[in-house]
């Protein structure tokens, strides 16, 4: 009926597909990761990423120890280079920057302050805190890599989900993440032409597969199979692609999370443009985290990867067809009843006029106007609030 997955899409030349990134939301999460990752945290395939984090896990061990039994050795000038003697350990362990901060936090000492002290004095403070820690037990996570590093210190009930477990869940649907399945590292938008090209060489500069000593982050798209969900003002197809990103930290720096969505393009800086139907689940590393990952998060990722886009497409079609205002008075009244100020209502209507060359009439029109206005908000809370109101409006389409 004019709204379908495009099985034989017509490309805008060999370079890709013409897209309209003026619609939907902009999501900067992947761009933030891309901008802040050094080269040694960037991977060109899921196989390489998995090999790194799996090998690290195989060289690691976890155990619960009494805090009062931990001994601090601080014979160096740098507080961060101090070593710990753990019960029944064959050799001292050196805490990483992250683990040192965790340890300080557990005993109620400010890590930034301890790092400024001479090592012996910092060690005395830390030793006092460990000896008098009322919780009594902590769970350590130690990794052998030339020397034994203490990578994490958490509460005894910390439910560790290993980084390689998340990578393996992604590999089950995405293979190597380089195009051997429909899920791959994304292409790039050419701003000069408005054409999204899915076929871009995967390099350190373009990859979206990341891992550090404390986390993993992966972003993949299905950008060889565009989805047509209606038409633009000029009659051309409004194309979307499916995408998801996920993250985890086996050392307690982050929750585990998976976000799925539809998007229209990814730019060179890895910003996501034209995002619609954003869904997210997160799992704290509590006692039953591993079970929740196995029974909730991993299956949800598989369902999204294998699901038909028709639910999303039909929702967009219904929003386009549901006319809610035909006059200026009705448009203003529709927005004012949903909590928008007089000024906001005027700006929302103007956004649609600029983009569509006509005033808003359908739910879809108003949602696009609201999300466009949200982009102009400089304060994140205000922008997220407005985007949330747009999503709520779309979710009520029936």
Higher pLDDT, 386 or 239: 239
Closest among 228, 218, 225 to 242, alpha carbons compared = 225
Cβ atoms 19, 9 nearer than 8 A: no
Q: Does 18 or 82 have the greater pLDDT score?
A: 18
**To the nearest 10°, the Cα dihedral for 200, 201, 207, 208?**
40
User: Does the pLDDT at position 13 exceed 60?
Assistant: no
Quick check: helix, strand or coil at residue 344?
A: helix
**Cβ proximity of 183 and 305 under 8 Å:** yes
Q: Tell me what pLDDT residue 118 has.
A: 82
**How many CB atoms are located within 10 Å of the residue 167 CB?**
26
Nearest to 210 by CA among 2, 36, 397, 1: 36
Question: What is the distance, to the nearest Å, from the Cα of residue 124 to the centroid of all Cα atoms in its chain?
Answer: 40
**Confidence class for position 321, pLDDT limits 50, 70, 90:** confident
Judge whether residue 8 has pLDDT over 50: no
Question: For residue 150, what are the β-bridge partners?
Answer: 95, 142
pLDDT at 75: 67
Question: How confident is residue 101, by pLDDT bands cut at 50, 70 and 90?
Answer: very high
CA-based diameter of the chain, in Å?
Answer: 79
Residue 207 burial by Cβ neighbours in a 10 Å radius (0-12, 13-18, 19+)? buried
Cβ 80 vs Cβ 126: under 8 Å: no
Q: Average pLDDT, stretch 120-149? A: 85
10 Å CB burial of residue 43 (0-12, 13-18, 19+) is buried
Does this model's pTM top 0.85? My answer is no
Residues 6 or more apart in contact with residue 159 via CB below 8 angstroms: 285, 286, 287, 288, 289, 290
């Amino acid at each position: 009926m004019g709204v379908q997955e495009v099985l034989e899409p017509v490309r805008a030349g060999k370079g890709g597909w013409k897209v309209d990134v003026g619609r939907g939301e902009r999501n900067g999460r992947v761009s933030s990761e891309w901008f802040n990752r050094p080269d040694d945290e960037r991977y060109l395939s899921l196989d390489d990423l998995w090999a790194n984090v799996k090998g690290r896990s195989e060289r690691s061990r976890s155990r619960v120890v009494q805090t009062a039994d931990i001994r601090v050795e601080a014979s160096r000038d740098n507080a961060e280079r101090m070593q710990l003697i753990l019960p029944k350990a064959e050799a001292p362990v050196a805490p990483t920057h992250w683990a040192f901060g965790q340890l300080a936090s557990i005993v109620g000492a400010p890590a930034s302050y301890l790092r400024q002290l001479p090592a012996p004095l910092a060690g005395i403070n830390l030793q006092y805190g460990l000896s008098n820690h009322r919780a009594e037990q902590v769970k350590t996570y130690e990794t052998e890599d030339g020397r034994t590093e203490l990578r994490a210190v958490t509460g005894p009930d910390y439910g560790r989900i290993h980084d390689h477990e998340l990578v393996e869940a992604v590999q089950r649907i995405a293979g190597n993440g380089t195009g051997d399945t429909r899920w791959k590292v994304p292409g790039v938008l050419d701003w000069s032409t408005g054409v999204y090209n899915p076929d871009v060489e995967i390099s350190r500069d373009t990859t979206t597969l990341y891992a550090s000593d404390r986390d993993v982050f992966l972003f993949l798209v299905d950008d060889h199979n565009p989805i047509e969900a209606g038409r633009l003002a000029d009659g051309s197809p409004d194309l979307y692609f499916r995408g998801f990103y996920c993250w985890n930290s086996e050392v307690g720096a982050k929750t585990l999370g998976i976000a799925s969505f539809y998007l229209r393009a990814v730019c060179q800086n890895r910003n996501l443009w034209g995002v619609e139907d954003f869904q997210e689940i997160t799992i704290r590393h509590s006692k039953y985290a591993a079970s929740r990952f196995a029974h909730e998060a991993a299956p949800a990722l598989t369902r999204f990867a294998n699901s038909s886009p028709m639910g999303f497409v039909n929702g967009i079609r219904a929003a386009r067809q549901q006319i809610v205002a035909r006059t200026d008075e009705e448009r203003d009244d529709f927005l004012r009843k949903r909590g928008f100020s007089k000024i906001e209502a005027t700006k929302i209507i103007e956004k649609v006029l600029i983009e569509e060359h006509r005033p808003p009439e359908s739910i879809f029109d108003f949602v696009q106007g609201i999300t466009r206005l949200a982009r102009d908000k400089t304060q994140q809370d205000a922008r997220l609030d407005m985007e949330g109101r747009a999503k709520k409006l779309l979710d009520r389409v029936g």
